Structure 1
Amino acid sequence: MQLDELPIGVKARIASVDWAMLVPEEGQRLRALGLDAGAEVTLAYRGILAGRDPLAVEVGRMTVAMRRGHARAMQVEPLQPVSA
């Protein structure tokens, strides 16, 4: 499942990141914020307009805003059951 598909409030671990989908500077920024394989994250907010941007992702004690396209580069594994 991609990070942008994760239900709000569900804890997950980033399983992998397709860095080739991102501009190198964007990837470097996300790594600096702790968004890399192995990080535990929670999707806190999803935009309400057509593109559903921005997303707010909690990583550690921080909340990071990111574009949906960036979140699509991240594969996550939920750490708790996901209700359909």
Structure 2
Amino acid sequence: MKSLRDIPVGSSATVAKIHGEGALKKRIMDMGITKGTTILVRKVAPLGDPVEVTVRGYELSLRKQDADILEMAD
């Protein structure tokens, strides 16, 4: 499984699946991240948390925990 954290800075990938359940999954989907959405990784903090991405034309910062549940396709 390739998660969002495995995507290099400056690259983009498409969400293949959102793992997890409950409030965490709902919060991710409320941010506009759904299956088939393309995400561009803009920056990653030195310790890996947070990850700054561009989704549907806006910038978003995600925690490691949020980035780990997003399975990405190339």
TM range (shorter): 0.7 to 0.9
The percentage of aligned residue pairs carrying the same residue is 21
Find out whether 1:34 has 2:35 as its counterpart: no
Runs of 4+ in structure 1 over 3 Å off: none
Q: Secondary structure at the match of 1:34?
A: coil
Unaligned runs of 5+ in 2: none
- Normalising to structure 2: TM-score of the pair? 0.87
Q: Which has the larger radius of gyration?
A: 1
Deviation string 1:56-81 (CA, Å, 9 cap, x unpaired) is 11111111111011111111112xxx
RMSD of the alignment, in Å? 1.2
Unaligned runs of 5+ in 1: 79-84
Q: Would you say the 8 A contact 2:18–2:25 is kept in 1?
A: no
- Normalising to structure 1: TM-score of the pair? 0.78
Corresponding letter in the other structure for 1:69: Q
Corresponding letter in the other structure for 1:16: K
